[in-house]
Structure 1
Amino acid sequence: MPAHEPESERGVDEIPDLVHAARLGTQPQTARGQRTRAALITAARTVFERDGYVDSRLVDIAAEAKCSIGSFYTWFDSKDEVFAAVLHEAQSDMLHPGTGRIEATDDPVAIIAASNRAYFEAYRRNARLNLLLQQVAAVDPRFREMRRARSAAFVNRNARAISDLQQRGLADRGVDASMAAKALSGMVARLAHDVFAFEGGDHVDELVETATRLWTNALGLTTPELRVD
C-alpha cells in the first residue's frame, strides 16, 4: 500500500523490516564466502519464484547456485532461513519509503499519484516474490505477524497524512481517517496483487490514474484534471 510519509517521519509507526536479522543465516567473513552466499540467495529467489515455496527443494537451490548442498548448510540452516535472506535482499525495492510528507505548499493530489506510481512499479518488479510472501505467511505464523505489523504501520502513516489534510481543510472532514486509510490502502494493494501477480499485467499508467482518482475522489481532493466527465 502506498505510504505518504518519509522514513524520517516514522515516529511511533516505524515500519518493521520484512524479517528479523537473527533469521538471516550465517554471515561470511571472506570474499569467497560472500560470493557463495550471494549466489545461494539469488538461486533461492529463482527457485522459489519458479516452483513456489512449498514445492521448492534445497537441492534445487544448491544446483541453481552451482554449489553443493553442504555449502548451502554452511550459510543457512533451513528453507525458511534462505527465504528470509531473499526477502531481506529485496525489501528496500519491494516496499518503497514513500514520496515525501504533505506540506502546505505541496500538491496533495500529485503526491498521492507519485506514491501510487512508486508502489505499483515496485510491486510489478517483485510480483512473484510478493505472491510468495503471501503463501509463506499462510503457513508460517512468524511471517504472518510480520505482514500484519507492516500493514498496520503503513495504514497508520496514511491515516496521519489524511488527518493532516483534513485539519488543513483540504480533505473531507466527515471521513474517518483511519478507516479511509485502511480502505484506500487495501484497494491499492489488491489492485497491484490482481494485476501483476495473477494477471501478469504491465499497465502501470492506467493503474496510477485509476487509483489516484479513487483516492482523491474519496477524500474530496478531486482536481479538474482528474475529474471524470
Structure 2
Amino acid sequence: MSSESDTASAPPDLVDPTKLGVQPQTARGQRTRNALIAAARTVFERDGYVDSRLVDIVAEAKCSIGSFYTWFDSKEEVFAAVLHEAQSEMLHPGTNRIETSDDPVAIIDASNRAYFEAYRRNARLNLLLQQVSAVDPRFREMRRARASAFVTRNARAIADLQARGVADRAVDPEMAAKALSGMVSRLAYEVFALGDHGPQSDQESVDDLVGTATRLWTNALGLTAPELRAD
C-alpha cells in the first residue's frame, strides 16, 4: 500500500532525463527514434556496452548514421534513452508502508515476487548495468542513489513493523534493510544474470526464490505466518 510519503521518496531516475537526445515532433520521427532505441538495446545486450558500435546499432535499426545523429549525439546518449525506456519495467520494488490491517508477510512476498519477475524479464540489461557502472562514475552514482532510495523505503517498513510489535525491535532497521535488499539483489543476479538455476525453468526459479527470500526476510525480522512456519 503506497502513501504520500512513499510518493515523496520515489527513487531517482537511472539516467539524467535531460540527456536523452532530441524528441521527435512527427510520428515518422518517433518511429525512427523508437527503432534506434530498440536496436541499441539489442546491440548493447549482445555485444556489451564497451564493444558496441554505432554502425551496428544503425544496421540493426535499418537506418543511416545520419538518422542516428538526428536524434542522438553519442552512444552514451542512446544508452541513456534505452535505460529511460526500460526503467519502469526494471523498477526494483521496495516494501511498501505496512498498515495495521495488512499482512506483512504477504506484502514482503509480493514485493519479492515483483522484484524477481522484473529482474528475470530484464536479465541481460541488468547484467549490462553492472558493466556500465564499472566504467561510468556518473551512472554509478545515479544507480547508488536509486538503490539507497529503496533501502530507505524498506527500512521505514521494518520500523513500522517494530512499532507495531510484530518484528524484532533489537534489529537496526537500516542495516537490516541493506542486508536483506542486498541478499535479494544478489540472488537475482546469480540466477538470472549469470544463469545459475540448473535445469529449472525461469518461472520455477522465481517461485523458489520468492519462497526462500520471503522466509529469510521473515525469519530475520522475527515475523511468522502459518504457511511459512517449519513443519
Q: TM-score, normalising length from structure 2?
A: 0.93
Determine helix, strand or coil for the equivalent of 2:21.
coil
| Structure-to-structure mapping, 1:202-213, within 5 angstroms | 202=202, 203-213=205-215
Q: Choose which of 70, 73, 77 in structure 2 pairs with 1:74.
A: 70
Displacement of 1:7 in angstroms is 7.1
Q: Which residue of 1 aligns with 2:228?
A: 226
More deviation, 192-201/176-185: 192-201
Contact 2:22/2:71, CA 8 A, preserved across alignment = yes
Q: Which residue of 1 aligns with 2:178?
A: 182
* Aligned CA distance change for structure 1 residues 53 and 209 (closer, same or farther; 3 Å): same
Displacement of 1:97 in angstroms is 4.8
Q: Which residue of 1 aligns with 2:138?
A: 142
Q: How well do the aligned residues superpose, as a CA RMSD in angstroms?
A: 1.5
Looking at structure 2, the residues matched to 217 and 189 of structure 1 have their Cα atoms a distance apart, in angstroms, of 18
Aligned sequence identity (%): 79
Displacement of 1:99 in angstroms is 6.8
Displacement of 1:224 in angstroms is 2.9
Aligned AA (1:59): V
Q: Which residue of 2 aligns with 1:10?
A: 6
Greater relative contact order (Cα 8 A, min sep 6): structure 1 or 2? Answer: 1
Q: Choose which of 177, 197, 216 in structure 2 pairs with 1:214.
A: 216
Q: TM-score, normalising length from structure 1?
A: 0.94
Determine helix, strand or coil for the equivalent of 1:171.
coil
Contact 1:137/1:144, CA 8 A, preserved across alignment = yes
Displacement of 1:184 in angstroms is 0.2
Displacement of 1:222 in angstroms is 2.1
Stretches of structure 2 lacking an aligned partner (at least 5 in a row): none
Looking at structure 2, the residues matched to 172 and 12 of structure 1 have their Cα atoms a distance apart, in angstroms, of 27
Determine helix, strand or coil for the equivalent of 2:183.
helix
| Structure-to-structure mapping, 1:48-67, within 5 angstroms | 48-67=44-63
Displacement of 1:18 in angstroms is 1.2
Aligned AA (1:217): N
For the pair 1:23 / 2:19, whether they are aligned, the reply is: yes
Determine helix, strand or coil for the equivalent of 1:22.
coil
Displacement of 1:134 in angstroms is 1.3
Looking at structure 1, the residues matched to 92 and 134 of structure 2 have their Cα atoms a distance apart, in angstroms, of 24
Deviation string, structure 1 residues 66-109 (Cα, Å, up to 9, x no partner): 00111111111111110100000011110055574311111000
Determine helix, strand or coil for the equivalent of 1:191.
helix
Looking at structure 1, the residues matched to 116 and 3 of structure 2 have their Cα atoms a distance apart, in angstroms, of 19
Contact 2:3/2:97, CA 8 A, preserved across alignment = no
Displacement of 1:8 in angstroms is 4.1
Looking at structure 2, the residues matched to 43 and 66 of structure 1 have their Cα atoms a distance apart, in angstroms, of 9
Contact 2:6/2:153, CA 8 A, preserved across alignment = yes
Q: Which residue of 2 aligns with 1:119?
A: 115
* Aligned CA distance change for structure 1 residues 119 and 179 (closer, same or farther; 3 Å): same
Looking at structure 1, the residues matched to 120 and 19 of structure 2 have their Cα atoms a distance apart, in angstroms, of 26
Displacement of 1:14 in angstroms is 3.0
